Amino acid sequence: MKIAPSMLASDFANFGPETRRMEQGGADYIHLDIMDGLFVPNLSFGLPVVKAARPYAETPFDVHLMIQEPAKYVQRFAEAGADWISFHLEATGDPAHTAELIRACGVHPALAVKPATPVERVYPYLDLVDMVLIMTVEPGFGGQSFMADMMDKVRLLRGRLLAENKSVLIEIDGGVNEETIAQAAAAGVDICVAGTGVFKAADAGEAIRALKTVAAQYEGRAPRRKEG
The one catalytic residue among 28, 33, 36, 62 = 33
For residue 186, which of 156, 218, 146, 159 has the smallest C-alpha distance?
A: 218
Q: Report the side by side order of strands in the sheet with 191-194.
A: 2-5, 191-194, 169-173, 131-135, 108-113, 84-88, 61-66, 30-35
173 annotated among ligand-binding-site residues: yes
62 annotated among ligand-binding-site residues: no
195 annotated among ligand-binding-site residues: yes
25 annotated among ligand-binding-site residues: no
97 annotated among ligand-binding-site residues: no
174 annotated among ligand-binding-site residues: yes
Residue 24 to residue 140: CA distance in whole angstroms = 27
Known catalytic membership, residue 173: yes
Known catalytic membership, residue 33: yes
The CA–CA distances, whole Å, from 119 to 99, 129, 136 equal 17, 14, 12
142 annotated among ligand-binding-site residues: yes
φ/ψ bin of 97: left (φ > 0), alpha (ψ from -120 to 50), beta (otherwise): alpha
Q: Is the dihedral of CA 181, 184, 188, 191 positive or negative?
A: negative
The one catalytic residue among 28, 62, 173, 190 = 173
Residues assigned a catalytic role: 33, 173
Q: Which residues are annotated as a binding site?
A: 6, 31, 33, 64, 140-143, 173-175, 195-196
Q: Which residues are annotated as a binding site for a divalent metal cation?
A: 31, 33, 64, 173
Q: Which residues are annotated as a binding site for substrate?
A: 6, 64, 140-143, 173-175, 195-196
